[in-house]
Amino acid sequence: MSDENKIYTAEVIEESAIPGGDTSDAVASDHGSSSTETYSQTTIDEISLPTPKIATELISSKLNTKTRKILGDFSFTPTGSIQIGDYKNGDYGDIRISPNGIVARNTNGDTTFALDGDSGDAVFAGTIQAGTLISGAVAVGDGNILIDGATRRMLFYDANGIPNIVIGLVS
């Protein structure tokens, strides 16, 4: 049979249930294209949206934003680096924290302290105070005076690097 003589019939769509509803009351009707039928939009009652509540203060077991105090332990995720403050010459200093260490600058741009994360070296521009200091050796000034806890002695070197004064155990 050629396509010209082929008979086409309408496809029958089977009735299916409405999700979450009972279809026993459903009535099928055939609405033709009559110009006397008028359809209109149904009116929906106005619904007011709830007012959003925005927290301005947080008081919990870990953080109190009102008093600006940290009350407990926090877990941090790895990030690139953190800058505290916005350096502006003559007005503001800043602190920079990265995986390589910590650096602080004063308002003049001078580094006031630096901690090297790789070597453990620390540089301080001001006074260091401590109740107790435990160290293997302390080099004073340009290294011409050495206080060595391991050998239990103090060495005073001359300009040529030869110890002139030795206090403590002599080896």
Question: Average pLDDT of each block of 10 consecutive residues along the chain (171 residues)?
Answer: 74 73 51 63 81 76 81 79 90 92 95 94 92 87 89 91 87 67
Predicted confidence at residue 146, as pLDDT, reads: 92
**Euclidean distance between CA atoms 156 and 166, whole angstroms:** 6
Residue 171 is classified by DSSP as: -
Quick one: tokens of 99? 């995986």
| Amino acid at the residue 169 | L
**Euclidean distance between CA atoms 7 and 90, whole angstroms:** 92
Stated pTM of the model? 0.45
Predicted confidence at residue 23, as pLDDT, reads: 47
Is the distance from CB of 105 to CB of 93 less than 8 angstroms? yes
**Euclidean distance between CA atoms 65 and 58, whole angstroms:** 5
- By DSSP bridging, strand 145-148 and strand 94-98 are unpaired
Quick one: tokens of 74? 């926090």
**Euclidean distance between CA atoms 111 and 85, whole angstroms:** 14
